[in-house]
Chain A
Amino acid sequence: MNAMDLRSLEGSAYASRWEDGLLELFAGTALLLVGVAWLTPMAGLGGVAPVLLIPFWPLARRAVTEPRAGYVEFRADRKAKERKAHMNLVLLGVVAFVLGVAAYLVVSRDVVGRDGLIMMLVPALPGLLLALGAIVTGWMLGLSRWFLYAASLALLALMGVYFDAHPGVYMAAGGALVAASGLTMLVRFVRSHPLPDKAAP
């Protein structure tokens, strides 16, 4: 960054934390694993896979990102904003769970009839909720590319409904797409951020 844009300095410093593609790589891989697990008789394993990935994220950041992009501690107001973002994502998870239960009840009790629009969209619900999650993530972190992921996830979910595919298929496809984007970003990041020769004054 060579331009003296002091007003957006903090914002661009914060955004630079997400240029490594690790967020996409981990989120996409988690989604891919959930989708693949859903297609197998061990669908419950899908819920465990993202949790197992979580400890690897800080390790990867420490090993790949920090030596190349540096370490930064943001000020209290930014940390508070980040905490609020995490809380909102948890809240979204709760809403998704409630909607999932509601969808299950709608389907199992035959509330709207077999041919209704709601029944048609029920299989797309997991994908649409993930798209909502991607929108919230993009909005909270100020990363516009996440809106594109949201659009892709929603489109894949609707295509899944159209082609009568299992939700696990479009979830795995969406995960693969996000993970591939993350991997591309990671390769670009490593190439454009070589390890500095001199790391201390």
Chain B
Amino acid sequence: MSQVNGPVRPSDAGSGESDTRRSTQAGTAIDKLVHEPARLLLLACLYVVDAADFVFLLRQTGLTAGNVSSHVSKLEEAGYVNVEKGFVGKRPQTILRLTEQGRAAVRSYRDTMNQLLGSLED
């Protein structure tokens, strides 16, 4: 499981040096579990809805079943995603839902990236 870092502390604004320091801190605080593109896409899909099943994620992301499956397992291990398995008639259905920890991780990742990229010049 990747290291999950907490939110970045706001540092002193003002000089260029402090901006650089702040960006470096943000860089080291990136949650690598969220940062991976396929997982980020899955997390974003789950973030904007309440719950979705495995097939919905396949369709929305365009990822393969194996890919989704392995990433979901990692996210479940980290406690970011709650997985409920059941049946609709004879058809198996896997419902996925972001946990509060998962939602917080996505928000924190967004803030970190904003902080990191916000300091870039055009």
Contact = CB atoms under 8 A, between A and B. Distances in A.
Interface of A: 1-2, 4, 6, 9-10, 12-13, 16, 62, 66-76, 193, 196-201
B51 interface: yes
Contacts of A200: 54, 85, 92-94
B94 A66 contact: no
14 contacts: A1-B62, A4-B41, A10-B48, A66-B53, A66-B55, A66-B88, A67-B55, A70-B57, A71-B53, A72-B49, A75-B49, A196-B65, A198-B66, A200-B85
Contact of A71 (B56, B61, B73, B83): B56
Contacts of B92: 199-200
B62 A72 contact: no
Nearest to A6: B44
B68 A201 contact: yes
Nearest to B72: A201
Contacts of B62: 1-2
B37 to A, nearest CB: 8
Nearest to A199: B92
Majority secondary structure of chain B interface residues (helix, strand, loop or mixed): helix
Nearest to B64: A198
A1 B91 contact: no
A9 B53 contact: no
A71 B58 CA distance: 11
Nearest 5 pairs of A and B residues by beta carbon: A70-B56, A70-B55, A201-B69, A10-B48, A71-B53
B72 to A, nearest CB: 5
B53 A197 contact: no
A62 B51 contact: no
A66 B87 CA distance: 13
Interface in B57-108: 57-62, 65-66, 68-69, 72-73, 83, 85, 88, 91-95
A79 to B, nearest CB: 8
A10 B48 CA distance: 5
Contact of B59 (A4, A6, A16, A198): A16
Contacts of B68: 201
B4 interface: no
Given A13-B45, A201-B94, A193 B59 contact: yes
